Structure 1
Amino acid sequence: MYDRILVPTDGSREVERALEYAFDLAHEHDATIRALYVVNAAGYGGLPMETALEGVSDALREEGRAAVSRVEDLAPADVTVETAVREGSPSQVIVNEADPLECDLVVMGTHGRGGIDRLLLGSVTERVVRRASVPVLTVQVDPDGVDGRAEELRLAAE
């Protein structure tokens, strides 16, 4: 059912909960994991000096390489992991990365915002769920979350 599973990571320990689901699915379906880290270029665009910008960009890319390398380190021996570090708007890069690679599924964590926070503050996960042309499995990674269950959401691209 699944051949390629895209797993965005921010390098945090909380994302490891989503990785567990991705690894289990990859094992069951003999699928390949594609670990993706997105350097959010907009986050440092207002810095005053070009050399400072280059330094920040290099540091963020290095952080990304470490994050996807961690996914490789955590993967069970029978699960193949590919890695990528991209630059841009996180939700857009994730959606774009899923399509060209013909991924069957995106597995990503959510911090479990609810109520008015969820309505006013669109998260990267919510944007991906709304725009992805493949199923998105969201995994609650917030340690204070209600129940920590995963739910699969299938939404057509707008």
Structure 2
Amino acid sequence: MYKTILVPTDGSEGANAAAEHAVDIASRYDATLHALYVVDVRMSPISTEMDRDEVIQLLDQSGKRPTTPVLDQAEEKDIPATEAIRLGVPHEIIREYIDENDVDLVVIGTHGRTGLEHTLLGSTTERVVRTVDVPVLTVHLDTSKEPG
């Protein structure tokens, strides 16, 4: 049913929760996981004119890549995984990536923004759900659970 599962990630806890679901689904269907991080050129000092290698070098200098938690979860479960880092507008790049890689399922986290913050920032997840032609599983981070 699913052979290629995309997990767009920004390194947030919501994205990591989505990755858990994606890894579980990938293990059930012997699917390959794709971890995609899109550097949003609208909200960053990075522009589309920068070389991709320069951007990766900047990410590496800042610490962990946002894709690392997804790849680590996949590796723990012996799920084949691939990493992609792209520049652009996130929902547009996600849509392009889906088409280029014959993605069967997108598993994406939500931030749960509401009100003015949602209106001003928009929702990448919402735009993906509305504009892609493959199933999208949205995973909302349950912040009501306390660790322990």
CA RMSD of aligned residues (A): 2.9
Structure 1 residue matching 2:84: 3-state secondary structure: strand
Query: How do 1:93-108 and structure 2 match up within 5 A?
Result: 93-108=93-108
Q: How many residues align?
A: 138
**1:131 corresponds to 2:131:** yes
Runs of 4+ off more than 6 Å: none
Q: Cα deviations across residues 59-114 of structure 1 (Å, max 9, x unaligned)?
A: 24766972223322122332111110000001111111011100000000012345
Residues 10-25 of structure 1: matches in 2 within 5 Å? Answer: 10-25=10-25
- The aligned counterpart of 2:6 is 6
How far apart, in 2, do the equivalents of 1:10 and 1:73 lie?
15
> What percentage of residue pairs aligned between the two structures are identical?
46
User: Do the aligned partners of 1:64 and 1:85 also contact (CA within 8 Å) in 2?
Assistant: no
Contact 2:14 2:140 in 1 (8 A): no
2:69 equivalent in structure 1 = 70
Q: Give 2:51's aligned residue.
A: none
> Which consecutive unaligned segments of at least 5 residues does structure 2 have?
48-53
**Measured at CA, do residues 111 and 33 of structure 1 come closer, stay the same or move farther in structure 2, by a change above 3 Å?**
same
- Alpha carbons of 1:65 and 1:103: their partners in 2 closer, same or farther (altered >3 Å)? farther
Could you tell me whether the CA contact under 8 Å between 1:3 and 1:30 is conserved in 2? yes
Q: Deviations over 1:27-77 (max 9, x none)?
A: 000000000000111223599xxxxxxx88852476697222332212233
Find out whether 1:27 has 2:27 as its counterpart.
Answer: yes
User: Which secondary structure does the structure 2 equivalent of 1:112 belong to?
Assistant: coil
Larger radius of gyration: 1
Q: Any unmatched runs of 5+ in structure 1?
A: 48-54, 146-158
Give the direction of change, closer, same or farther, for the CA distance of 1:83–1:64 in structure 2 (3 Å limit): farther
TM-score by length of 2: 0.78
- CA deviations on 1:116-138 (whole Å, 9 max, x unpaired) are 76567530000000111111100
TM-score by length of 1: 0.74
